[in-house]
Amino acid sequence: MNTLRHPLRHPLCLALAATLLIALPASSAPPAGPPTQVWIDVATHSMAGMPDMGMMGGFANRMMGGAKGPQGYPQSRNIPASMGKVLDIAMYNSLRPGVPAEQFVPAGLGVGKSLPLLPPVQGARTDERTSGKMEDVEVTIRQYWGCGATVRPGQPKVMTVRMKNGTVQTNGSLAPGLFVPDRDIDANPSYALWPNQKNSKRVADGSSMVGQHRITGDGVPASLQFQLDRNADFMPKIALGSTGELADSVQLQWQPVDRARGYFLHAVAMQDERNFVMWSSADVAGAGMELIHYLPGSNIEKWLKQKVLLAPTTTRCAVPQGIFKPTGTAAAEGGGMAALNMVAYGPETNVSWPEKPADPKQPWKPEWNVRVRTKATTTAMLGMDLSGMSSQPDAESGEQPPAEEESKSKKLLKGLLRNF
């Protein structure tokens, strides 16, 4: 039995919380290594079948959190809140912790000559709370895995989750989640970050990281300059297409993504308000949302061999027939929906100074290290016609949405986009 303290508004939230119980990440450790360290995350995010600009793109951005204005650090982890190219920079300088710095960047990045790196502002916590008593509810989660038109033997794994008197109880079980090393930065005032409260300019579609970078500031080593090549640049957008209704075997296909080392797909479907489905492209059970992230090269190599990830030469995957099929009132009303996320894992670049000597016996004490991670992600709504949403007003147009109650399907769509 597990108890969740956060109020849960909707059965979808309850289902998501239950899956997190089996896929908890490792906690971040304090930075260890050279006196000065820089972490740069470079991501490209898109929404399949939806333009980046215009009313439809603006509507999707708002539902995913992008309507709240420029995003602060970090933007690129998991599924970014906005479409396009996304950049995060963090520096920890043990010589002068929490002191602002400046990163001079190539002209091709298109953000000016430099970016200010600033310590985060510690503000009041603004967790969203709900009032009132959470009603008792019960949901069932079915877990499938593997590409192919038919369900494989031994599937699905089934878990029923009940919320009663504020306590979560579970029957049955899902496959244990895979251990994904947590190499993210838990930023605090001892770090200097971009984007920040002074500068949060979005990176343009034509921006490039390739070229000379230099970081200056009080206590920053004078030698902290480095050259980045295309392996540290933004990856192309994933061109993902899908065919088939939710009751069918949904066919997924995509163009090869330049520099991709492997792929992973994960979907969650709401068959009705009490029945949910989790599916992944892995050949083994347990791979879940935690893989929609940056992965170390060692994990990518291992999981390619174990067929947790799809090979970089893969360009298609079929979802087993009928696993997303709507049930209950959703089937009667022609509803049901599924949200799919896909990630293409890119190269990782590490630069140190002085460079590591070829002779392992030779002493080596680097002044600084820079790590650059790359990935591309995309989100797709399966089995749902989004064309009618193009008429929604764009936030920049100044038009106000009609004051009518949201439809149930739109509420469910928002839940899927916000949580996945």
Q: Give pLDDT, residue 140.
A: 94
pLDDT tens track for 285-311: 999 999 999 999 999 999 999 999 999
The length of the chain in residues reads 420
Which of 33-42, 49-58, 81-90, 377-386 has the least mean pLDDT?
Answer: 49-58
pLDDT tens sequence across 321-368: 999 998 877 666 666 789 999 999 999 999 999 999 999 899 999 999
Q: What is the pLDDT of residues 93-125, one digit of tens each?
A: 999 999 999 999 999 999 999 999 999 987 644
CA dihedral angle for residue 295, residue 300, residue 304, residue 305, rounded to 10 degrees: -130
In angstroms, the CA 387 to CA 56 distance is: 8
- When pLDDT is cut at 50, 70 and 90, the band that residue 165 belongs to is confident
Q: What is the pTM of this model?
A: 0.82
Q: For 280, what's the count of Cα atoms within 13 Å in the CB-facing half-sphere?
A: 24
> What is the average per-residue pLDDT within 261-271?
96
Residue 309 and residue 300 in contact, taking contact as beta carbons nearer than 8 Å: yes
148 backbone dihedrals φ, ψ, rounded to 5°: 150, 155
pLDDT of residue 168: 84
The predicted pLDDT at position 135 comes to 75
Confidence check: pLDDT of 14 > 80: no
Q: Which residue has the higher pLDDT, 84 or 125?
A: 84
Q: What is the CA radius of gyration of the chain?
A: 22
Q: Residue 347: its pLDDT value, please?
A: 98
pLDDT for the residue numbered 67: 39
Q: List, for residues 358-400, the tens digit of each pLDDT value.
A: 998 999 999 999 999 999 999 999 875 443 443 333 333 344 4
Alpha carbon dihedral 26, 29, 34, 39, in 10-degree steps, equals 60
Residue 94: the pLDDT is: 94
Domain ranges of the chain: 11-384+404-419
Per-residue confidence (pLDDT) for residue 337, from 0 to 100: 82
Q: What's the per-residue H, E or C state across the chain?
A: CECCCCCCCCHHHHHHHHHHCCCCCCCCCCCCCCCEEEEEEEEEEEECCCCCCHHHHHHHHHHCCHHHCCCCCCCCCCCCCCCEEEEEEEEEECCCCCCCEEEECCHHHCCCCEEEEECCCCCCCCCCCCCCCCCCEEEEEEEEECCCCCCCCCCCEEEEEEEECCEEEEEECCCCCCCCCCCCCCCCCCEEEECCCCCCCCCCCCCCCCEEEEEEECCCCCCCEEEECHHHCCCCCCCEEEECCCCCCCEEEECCCCCCCEEEEEEEEEEECCEEEEEECCCCCCCCHHHCCCCCHHHHHHHHHCCCCECCCCCEEECCCCCCCCCHHHHHCCCCEEEEEEEEEEEEEEEEECCCCCCCCCCCCCCEEEEEEEEEEEEEEECCCCHHHHHCCCHHHCCCCCCCCCCHHHHHHHHHHHHC
- Using the predicted structure, report yes or no on whether residue 410 has a pLDDT greater than 70: no
| CA dihedral for 302, 307, 313, 316, sign (positive or negative) | negative
* pLDDT band at residue 15 under the 50/70/90 scheme: low
Pair 180, 293: CB distance under 8 Å: yes
Pairing of β 36-47 and β 368-382:
parallel
Look up residue 409 and give its two tokens.
């399907």
What is the rounded average pLDDT of the residues 248-276? 94
Return the pLDDT at 390.
35
pLDDT at residue number 32: 76
Residues 15 and 279 sit within 8 Å (Cβ to Cβ)? no
> 């509420």: which residue's tokens?
411
Nearest Cα residue to 291 out of 177, 159, 373: 177
pLDDT at 123: 63
Whether the upstream peptide bond of residue 153 has omega within 30° of 0, thus cis, is no
Q: 270 - beta bridge partners?
A: 276, 337
Among residues of the chain, what percentage have pLDDT more than 90? 59
